């Protein structure tokens, strides 16, 4: 069993798509995806600075597009007849995984992420909020400290990492008084994603999904809600909407992958974050971060 995993917001870096433009068809593919997203993805993936691509309205479509492009370059290895492939995405990466698993078309994925990103950016602008990674400590003690401080465990990532989300004042208080044996590291994100602070983003997405036609995934697709396989395209789309305000349980996704006997992880670009989590939460399972053409060739070899 091979897991194809797709990263979330914060994984992007300036210029990370530059090398990919040398591959045949990539520029045209990015242009098509950018048209659906209403963004010049080639510019943002190659020329824009760090501050520009940190903007939620840019970062989310850019990350999803990058994963879709890389996934399509591996399409000849990911045929529907294969039963040894499982897809999972972290946060906005769930949209990437949904497209590659066949639950959404590429255009639907880009329209969805455009709406999601814009709505979440507007919600984040309403109240100054943010997120901080809490590394180390005992999980029950960390969760108790977050509850006591009015914070939400927005990402439970496994491997000793929990991401706290809330107001900037709440996060500052946590940093001043961290849980025992834990470090608190502020993240470069614009808001308290996957919390009730994002509730205003739900209605635009609910309105949008009425115009979409999800299909049942052709490969196993895991949900961030509980790590379980998505039962249908319609259910998966409902979960994508709800996940805007619901914590990401990446720890449960990794547990499902282990239960299913996954022998290799391939992380699509902008890759590295999920490989890092797998090293701590899925010890002994080989993991490849695909960020270059050479690593794409390695992924092809793995997929056979």
Of 214, 240, 209, nearest in space to 225 by CA: 240
Q: Tokens 């996934």 label which residue?
A: 71
- Judge contact between 3 and 264, C-beta under 8 A: yes
Instruction: Collect contacts of 283-292 with beta carbons under 8 A, ≥24 apart.
Output: 285/257, 285/258, 288/264, 290/70, 290/266, 291/16, 292/19
Identify the active-site residue in 11, 29, 98, 194.
Answer: 194
Query: Tokens representing 155?
Result: 């990402």
Catalytic status, residue 43: no
User: What is the rounded distance in angstroms from the CA atom of residue 157 to the CA atom of residue 13?
Assistant: 21
CB-based contact 131:102 (threshold 8 Å): no
Question: Which residue shows structure tokens 């899925």?
Answer: 282
Is 289 in a helix, a strand, or coil?
A: strand
Spatial CB neighbours of 20, under 8 Å, sequence gap ≥ 6: 26, 45, 66, 69, 70, 269, 293
Q: For the chain, give the number of residues.
A: 304
CB 6 within 8 A of CB 290: no
- Which contiguous run of DSSP H or E holds residue 182? strand 182-186
The three-class DSSP label of residue 155 is strand
Give the distance, in angstroms, between the CA of residue 64 and the centroid of all CA atoms in the same chain.
8
Say which residue the tokens 């709440």 belong to.
170
Q: Considering the candidates 11, 90, 91, 132, report the single residue annotated as catalytic.
A: 91
Q: What angle do CA 86, 88, 94 make, to 5 degrees?
A: 140
Would you name the residues annotated as active-site residues?
Answer: 91, 194
């Amino acid at each position: 069993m091979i897991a194809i995993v797709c990263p979330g917001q914060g994984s992007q870096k300036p210029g990370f798509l530059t090398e990919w433009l040398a591959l045949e068809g990539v520029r045209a593919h990015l242009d098509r995806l950018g048209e659906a997203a209403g963004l010049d993805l080639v510019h943002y993936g190659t020329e824009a600075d760090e501050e520009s691509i940190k903007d939620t309205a840019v970062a989310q479509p850019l990350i999803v597009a990058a994963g879709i492009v890389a996934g399509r370059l591996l399409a000849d290895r990911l045929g529907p007849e294969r039963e040894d492939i499982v897809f999972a995405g972290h946060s906005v990466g769930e949209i990437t995984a949904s497209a590659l698993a066949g639950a959404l078309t590429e255009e639907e994925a880009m329209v969805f992420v455009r709406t999601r990103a814009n709505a979440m950016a507007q919600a984040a602008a309403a109240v100054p909020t943010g997120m901080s990674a809490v590394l180390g400590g005992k999980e029950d003690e960390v969760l108790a400290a977050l509850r006591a401080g009015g914070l939400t465990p927005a990402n439970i990532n496994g491997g000793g990492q929990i991401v706290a989300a809330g107001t900037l004042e709440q996060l500052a208080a946590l940093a001043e008084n961290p849980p025992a044996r834990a470090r608190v590291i502020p993240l470069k994100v614009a808001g308290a994603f996957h919390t009730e602070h994002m509730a205003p983003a739900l209605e635009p997405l609910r309105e949008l999904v009425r115009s979409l036609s999800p299909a049942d995934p052709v490969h196993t697709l895991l949900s961030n809600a509980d790590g379980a396989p998505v039962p249908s395209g319609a259910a998966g789309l409902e979960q994508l909407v709800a996940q805007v305000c619901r914590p990401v349980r990446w720890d449960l996704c990794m547990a499902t992958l282990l239960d299913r006997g996954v022998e290799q992880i391939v992380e699509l670009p902008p890759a590295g974050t999920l490989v890092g989590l797998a090293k701590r939460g899925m010890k002994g399972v080989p993991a490849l971060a695909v960020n270059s053409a050479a690593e794409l060739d390695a992924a092809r070899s793995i997929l056979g």
